[in-house]
Amino acid sequence: MMAAARSNYRLPAEWEPHAATWLAWPHRRATWLGDFAVIPGVFTKVARLIARYEPVRIVATGSVLAEARARLDGVMNIEFHDLPTNDSWLRDTGPVFIVPRVPAAGARPAAVCWGWNAWGGKYPPWDADAALGRAIAERLGLAAIDGGLVLEGGGLETDGEGTLLVNHRCIDDAARNPGVSRTRIEEMLRDRLGIDRVLWVGGELAGDDTDGHIDQLARFVAPGRVVAARQPDTLDPNHAALAMNFERLRGLVDARGRQLDVIPIDIPPRFAFEGTQLPASHLNYYVGNGFVAVPVFGGATDDAALRTLAACFPGRVIEPVVCTELVRGRGALHCITRDEPAA
C-alpha cells in the first residue's frame, strides 16, 4: 500500500457525483435476527432502485454470487465482481474513496483501506472482509492507502469541505485501536482523508452493535448543516443520549468557521423485534446521483423525516425504502452501500 498524501486528496461529501454504488450480497445468517430468507429480497429491491440512477457494483462469490445474478438477471446498470466476503455491511468493510483536491486530466480517486476486526471483534471470522477494501481498490486499478487504524466507514461523516464528524465510542476504542491516543487518531484521520477539523460526538442507539456509528446519529446535508437524531419519547432508552448529542452538535464549529445549523429528525420510539430494541433511524439514508433513499419503518415518524430530508436535498428524488426487515441486522441503507465518487 502507498503512504497517504494529505495535500493531494480530500474526502468528498456523499452528495457529490458518483461513478457507482457498491453492495455486498448477504449470506451470513448469524448477524440477522429472525428469518434471514427475506433479506436477499430486500437487497434485490435496493439494487434495482439504485440502478435506476447510477451503476451498481455487487461483490460476492460462489453460490452467493450466482444467487445475486439470478435475482437481478436482466436489470440494466448492474455488474458483478467475484470477491469473497464474510458479511454484507459494505459501508464498513469497503474502502473509503478520496478524490484529488485539484481535478486534472487523468487524476483518479484513491482508496483508503482501514484495518478491520468486525466492530471490535464481535463477529468472527472476518478475514475475507479484512481484505475486501484492497481487493476493490485493485479491481478498480486505484491506489490503496493504508488507513493505519481499525475503523469502519459508517463511523465517518463529512461535508466535503474539510470537516469530519465522528463518534469517539467507535474509534477511540480499546477494542479497535488500543493504546492510540485521540490526538494521534485525529492526526491520522487528517492525513489519510485530507481533513482539516475533526468534530467529536458521543452516544449510541440501543441495539446498535457498532458502538455508535455516526451515520445513525448525525449527518451532513450541506456544508455547515447537519440533521441529528432525536427521541422525544422519554421512556425510550435513546432519549437522554440523543438530547445531549443534539446540544453538543449545536455548539460545534466546522473547518470553515461556521457554527453548525442542526436540524432535528425524530426516530421511531422503542422499535423492537421479539423484545430486542433495534437501532431504527431515518438518518441511515443514502445519497446518490439525483436521489436520496430514506429508511422508513411504518410508524408515525416516517412522514416528517421524509419532508425534512426533501427540504434538505432540493432537486433530488426522495425514495422511501421500508427497512423493517433490514434493521433486523442492526443497520439500514447507508450501512449496506458504499459510494464510489466520480473521477
Q: Which domains does the chain have, with CATH numbers?
A: 6-341 (3.75.10.10)
150: cell is: 481499525
> Can you tell me the distance from the alpha carbon of 175 to that of 333, in angstroms, rounded to the nearest whole number?
26
Q: Tell me what the mean pLDDT of segment 276-292 comes to.
A: 98
The answer to whether 294 and 319 are in contact (CB under 8 A) is yes
What is the 8-class DSSP label of residue 6? Answer: G
Residues 6+ apart with CB under 8 A from 314: none
Instruction: Tell me the pLDDT band of 276, cut-offs 50, 70 and 90.
Output: very high
Residues 6+ apart with CB under 8 A from 307: none
Residues of the chain by 3-state class (helix, strand, coil), percent to 5: 30, 25, 40
Instruction: Please give the pLDDT value at position 207.
Output: 96
pLDDT digits (tens, 9 = 90+) for 103-161: 888 889 999 999 999 999 999 999 999 999 999 999 999 999 999 999 999 999 999 99
Instruction: Tell me the pLDDT band of 217, cut-offs 50, 70 and 90.
Output: very high
The answer to whether 206 and 149 are in contact (CB under 8 A) is no
> Can you tell me the distance from the alpha carbon of 336 to that of 130, in angstroms, rounded to the nearest whole number?
16
Whether the upstream peptide bond of residue 124 has omega within 30° of 0, thus cis, is no
Instruction: Tell me the pLDDT band of 7, cut-offs 50, 70 and 90.
Output: low
> Can you tell me the distance from the alpha carbon of 199 to that of 22, in angstroms, rounded to the nearest whole number?
27
Residue tagged 441495539 (cell numbers)? 207
Residues 6+ apart with CB under 8 A from 32: 26, 39, 328, 329
Give the catalytic positions in this structure: 335
pTM tops 0.85:
yes
What is the 8-class DSSP label of residue 290? Answer: T
Taking Cα atoms as reference points, which of 90, 97, 114 lies closest to residue 176? 114
